[in-house]
Structure 1
Amino acid sequence: MSTTTRNLPMLQVLACGGIIVTLSLGIRHGFGLWMLPITQQMGWTRETFALAIAIQNLSWGVLGIFGGMLADRYGAFRVLLGGTVLYAAGLLGMALSPTPFLFALTTGVLIGAAQAGTTYSIIYGVIGRQIAPERRSWAMGVAAAAGSFGQFLLMPIEGQIILQLGWQTALLIIVVLALMMAPLAFGLREPGFHAHHAAKRTQTVRHALAEALRHPPYLLLTAGYFVCGFQVTFIAVHLPGYLSDKGLTPQVAAFALAIVGLLNIVGSYSAGLLGQRFQKRWILAGIYATRAVVIALFLLAPISPASVYLFAAVMGLLWLSTVPPTNAVVAQIFGVQHFSMLSGFSFFSHQLGSFMGVWLGGYLYDRTGSYDVVWLIAIGLSVMATLLNLPVKETPVNRAAAHAA
């Protein structure tokens, strides 16, 4: 019997993993399109909707750690199947919940748990085990680009379904899309995973996590990831409302978010490719610094469809481009034995940022009548993340020296 887990074809891993991420994130990125129709029909405030999405991001972050542990121990296949079932249940609840509490429970907790089991930390774990280290950053860029393609592909479709059939019917249709992830999970079932992984397991979960939490580069990387979550989730959820307040149509917002998804295909793939050649800390610092400039120019420029589309295009290049270098650094420092768990832990910081970005956007809007303060916070956080990533060292940990000491 083979003693290696590298026996899935690379094309199969990238195709199945990429399509799963396309569906999972494509659905998720469109939630901002539902904010106005749901709040207007149900008589809820934007803060009510934003709180549910904030809980979703927090649930994704917290449960992503445990989903990563399960995937590291038992393989990604079972976790992906469970995540698919939870996604379908959460979307049904989102469509049918009559109260803010049930809406928060289904749209928030259930869909957050589903995303924890169907997105990057799980897929990247398979990539880390199945694809050679010298191609790992590139492969992660391909998977991140797939998530961006999902946004580009599904965003206008979701907008048109809502417009033509209403928001509840649109959500029921999206349930069918979510269930398509289940058969794709079979393509990521790793033969011989259990026997090989048991033989290679040299660290317990507790020791791996303790090692990471004592490692300053990992902590800096994780802190910087908070900013990415804050910015992208605030923009994804609140940009339609912001543009509506400025007198622009929902179609402009849907097209802008689709542009973000399209250009992020280029940005995510390029970030993964550049990570094979340059230090990833410079890539990350450059991304965060550029975001600060782009947001500031967007706020200063006169608002129009053209300025919105230009902003969306540049932000698209920067959108998920932090994901491949961040995860590649984690794998480079600690290896892949506990990668999904450590990736999930750093992603928890990302999701704390997402929680704050989406909730604070709704909270401050309801109290001030504008998003101006949140935009300014996003700029300041970009500067902070730039400074946090600059000193990150990508050298693998020397466990032999640690044991000798």
Structure 2
Amino acid sequence: MDIIHELESRGLIYQTTDKDELKKRLDQGMLTLYTGFDPTADSLHIGHLLPILTLRRFQLAGHQPIALVGGGTGMIGDPSGRTSERSLNTPEVVQGYSDKLKGQLERFLDFDREGNPAVMANNYDWLSKITFIEFLRDIGKHFSVNYMLAKDSVSARLEQGISYTEFSYMIMQSYDFKKLNETLNCEMQMGGSDQWGNITAGTELIRRTSGDEEKKVFGLTLPLVLKSDGTKFGKTAGGAVWLDGSKTSPYKFYQFWFNTDDRDVIKFLHYFTFLTLDEIKELEDKVITEPEKREAQRTLARSVTTLVHGEAAMNRAEEISHSLFNGELKNLTPSEIADSFSDVPSTTIEDGELTMVDVLTQAGAAKSKREAREYLNNNAITVNDVRFNDLETKIADLERLGDKYFVIRRGKKNYYLVEYKG
């Protein structure tokens, strides 16, 4: 299957500048393409996964991907998809972010692949060297204000207001495409659907400045990923889902994918895994016939977690899940307990003379000591996976997980985490 057919089969093409010409060009041999990643944080998040994995698909199909870190544009801020201006970071902060993003991108692209190795670039290398006068005379003159105002990334911000700084972002990104075309023979820019205006501005700049009327470069955008309930993909109650394991643990990363709605899981398997279409079809059938087994979700979670964090981390994430849902909390380390229960009500207790009646009220598991006693007498409380109905024993005398934690469950689904520092 050729790469365009594969992308279409997976629903990964939203727009192209000239699909027929692009197909012809791809048939002629290796094409070099790029996607940019602005360092606006010290980690990429799962909103970046779709373009990263699509670059990987192109590389596996024999083409050459360029991962462009926006060390220069990251100091300006892309207005696309935003209702307000970004805060500007210092050069030192942006450089630190850029270095971390490079390390993350190396997990997905093969920079030593024979024949079509991936290339890493940073637009700070050329944007920091061009003078303001050169930029206006040689680049800015090719963009009319009317042309720029018509682009969605700009027009959507006119009512709220847009600074000249962000207004110029389109020109800077266009210049990136031009430089990569001149230095690395890059013929295509790829990005999210919100990048269409910036991408087509780049193709137009190359056409105007190349001096070759027959020169062709291309743009391709990927669809915006939305969940079936209309909410934005990648956002949780705790914020973004990061690719950095220290910001979003492999366990929580795994759980994010495992909790995918039945209505979304097949689409996400097409987008974010390298399973064949036949393999995905088998899983789709099981979603219909055996939804309670969640085999599609488990396959999605295993595949993406392995891609991002490696097989060992994925296996440990599954072990943690098994321990949590099968009453084996003793198998978890203290840090795994804290991470696994970070979203439940928690409290810290230092008084070892307190009984579980006191602990339940302080933890919020009971509204009063009277209610706490009722829960205990009715066998509604488990502590560290063990049914608990003792009203008198002091917590200093109870066995703790990792010598510090009590995981309290009231009923079937109400969890509370207590850290004892006595």
TM-score bin (small chain) = under 0.3
Q: If you compute each CA radius of gyration, which structure gives the higher value, 1 or 2?
A: 2
TM-score by length of 1: 0.25
Which of the two has greater helix per residue? 1
Which of the two has greater strand per residue? 2
TM-score by length of 2: 0.24
